[in-house]
């Protein structure tokens, strides 16, 4: 069975007429009459118009016809292995952190916050939001202007050695928002060590009671331009 025949099978499954299919995509009415494999340009147009179709199935016949809603990705670290659910499609809000009261309020208010836009990346682990990075403490891994996508969490669920977005209370009315590796502290279990990627920033031990908001970094986006 060729890819054209598999496309006919999909149309039958969805109850879409051949005429509508060809008319919607601008194909010849005889496009589906042959049993050969379609060209790459035609396949790309079909997959763009019908995003639920499994591209591997369409092109090779392997796998399910329809993309699965959830797949699994293995996240490997120095001393642990976890399974993190990924989502074929999700829209992640990009927040204007400067327009809200702070990270703690952004996470816990339950009210709509200032959303600049939404980000849609296929097959990404579940994320709660995204913000732009400022400063150079995680350079060159992250630089000012990069976008980080995060999943809110609690300190009880922390994985030492991972990179986190966190809010540190300086006093009752001021908080310090930063991105750091969170590691165990030599000062005891009531402290953690915040470590930067940039070697010019020294590690700092803080009491866990100072952490008012915490989120695991799931992904980052960097926009490179020539201008």
CA distances from 206 to 28, 60, 161, 166 (A): 67, 55, 15, 12
Judge if pTM exceeds 0.85. no
Q: What local confidence, expressed as pLDDT, does residue 210 receive?
A: 92
208: DSSP letter: G
Confidence of residue 209 (pLDDT cuts 50, 70, 90): very high
Q: What local confidence, expressed as pLDDT, does residue 203 receive?
A: 93
Note the CATH number of domain 3-60.
1.10.260
Q: For the segment 101-112, what is each residue's pLDDT rounded down to a tens digit? A: 678 778 876 555
Q: What local confidence, expressed as pLDDT, does residue 113 receive?
A: 67
Q: For the segment 9-57, what is each residue's pLDDT rounded down to a tens digit? A: 999 888 888 888 888 888 888 888 876 677 777 887 888 788 888 888 8
Contact 215, 164 (CB under 8 A): yes
Closest CA to 190 of 171, 211, 213, 214: 211
CB neighbours of residue 145 within 10 Å? 11
Contact 145, 223 (CB under 8 A): yes
Q: What local confidence, expressed as pLDDT, does residue 110 receive?
A: 57
Instruction: For residues 163 and 182, give the distance between their C-alpha atoms in angstroms, rounded to a whole number.
Output: 6
The strands making up 115-120's β-sheet, listed across from edge to edge, are 115-120, 91-95, 129-132, 147-152, 211-221, 163-169, 175-184, 191-195, 204-207
Instruction: For residues 33 and 202, give the distance between their C-alpha atoms in angstroms, rounded to a whole number.
Output: 68
Give the residue-averaged pLDDT of 165-174: 84
Do the domains at 3-60 and 72-221 have one common CATH topology? no
Give the residue-averaged pLDDT of 81-95: 68
DSSP calls for 51-107: TTB-HHHHHHS-S-SBPPSEEEEEEE-SS-EEEEEEESS-EEEEE-GGGSS-HHHHH
**Least confident interval from 60-74, 75-89, 120-134, 149-163:** 75-89
Q: What local confidence, expressed as pLDDT, does residue 76 receive?
A: 32
* Domain made up of 72-221: CATH architecture: Ribbon (2.10)
Q: For the segment 51-87, what is each residue's pLDDT rounded down to a tens digit? A: 888 888 888 888 888 876 543 333 333 344 444 555 6
Show me where the domains of the chain are located: 3-60, 72-221
């Amino acid at each position: 069975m060729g890819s054209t025949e598999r496309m006919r099978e999909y149309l039958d499954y969805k109850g879409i007429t051949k005429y509508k299919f060809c008319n919607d995509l601008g194909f010849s009415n005889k496009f589906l009459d042959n049993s050969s494999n379609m060209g790459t340009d035609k396949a790309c147009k079909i997959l763009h118009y019908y995003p639920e179709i499994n591209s591997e199935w369409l092109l090779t016949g392997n796998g399910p016809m329809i993309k699965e809603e959830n797949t699994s990705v293995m996240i490997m670290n120095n001393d642990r292995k976890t399974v993190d659910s990924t989502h074929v499609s999700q829209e992640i809000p990009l927040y204007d952190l400067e327009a809200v009261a702070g990270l703690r309020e952004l996470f816990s208010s339950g009210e709509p916050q200032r959303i600049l836009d939404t980000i849609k990346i296929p097959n990404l682990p579940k994320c709660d939001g995204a913000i732009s990075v400022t400063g150079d403490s995680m350079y060159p891994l992250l630089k000012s202007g990069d976008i980080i996508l995060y999943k809110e969490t609690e300190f009880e669920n922390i994985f030492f050695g991972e990179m986190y977005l966190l809010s540190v209370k300086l006093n009752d009315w001021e908080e310090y928002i930063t991105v750091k590796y969170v590691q165990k502290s030599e000062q005891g279990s009531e402290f953690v060590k915040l470590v930067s990627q940039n070697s010019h920033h020294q590690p700092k031990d803080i009491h866990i009671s100072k952490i008012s908001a915490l989120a695991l970094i799931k992904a980052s986006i960097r926009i490179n331009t020539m201008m």
